Structure 1
């Protein structure tokens, strides 16, 4: 099956009308979008290679899933290690919120350094 290439006139030149095939529609979460911004700005060759090979969406979905799994696993481990429990939540909600926010911020930094910005 031969593909017919069409051209557009630009001044004195005929340029091919190139179009990438449709990529699958996958919902990319916050981690995948952060990584996309990172590779667009700091790793343009990787970004271009993934985009032109139609692997960008699948790659970002994998990164998003990996980062989200790591995030929730580490939050749970830190909370257990630091004694942040449902009992503390029932007894002193503000203390529980402070501790959980601290844990989430630390874990976000770890995920960013280990997966998103590497």
Structure 2
């Protein structure tokens, strides 16, 4: 079988789906090794970058750092929730006794605390 110019110059092909395409490195699965979930806050960050910070979005996308950045944002937001939720519960008097006695009040107070924490996350992590 006769080689084309690409193969004569040392190029190779890679099978993607049902097709063979030139192996230029664009199908290397570097992002696949990061198995952390993208999550709610990562997706919100991606939407924000696409709509309001287009140059940064394009830079992250073209450098291959976008998915890692989005996963980092989600992880940072989750850590903030894990840290702040117990602190806010203590500060606002949301206890297990309240949960046992008045469940609806407890749920409302916890939802209010989560909304407060999410506002902090949006202003300090997602929408910057």
TM-score, normalised by the number of residues in structure 2: 0.74
Shift of the 95–3 alpha-carbon distance from structure 1 to 2, 3 Å rule, reads farther
Structure 1: segments with no counterpart, 5+ residues:
5-16
What pairs up with 1:10-25 in 2 under 5 angstroms?
A: 19=26, 21-25=28-32
Q: CA offset at residue 86 of structure 1?
A: 1.1
Name the count of aligned residue pairs: 107
Q: Partner of 2:118: helix, strand, or coil?
A: helix
Q: CA offset at residue 83 of structure 1?
A: 0.9
Q: CA offset at residue 22 of structure 1?
A: 3.7
Instruction: Name segments (4+ residues, structure 1) moved above 2 Å.
Output: 17-23
Q: Which has the larger radius of gyration?
A: 2
Say yes or no: does 1:75 pair with 2:88. no
Paired position in structure 1 for 2:43: 33
Deviations 1:40-71 (A, max 9, x none): 11111111111111111111111110011112
Q: CA offset at residue 19 of structure 1?
A: 4.5
Paired position in structure 2 for 1:102: 112
Paired position in structure 2 for 1:50: 60
Structure 2: segments with no counterpart, 5+ residues:
1-8, 12-23
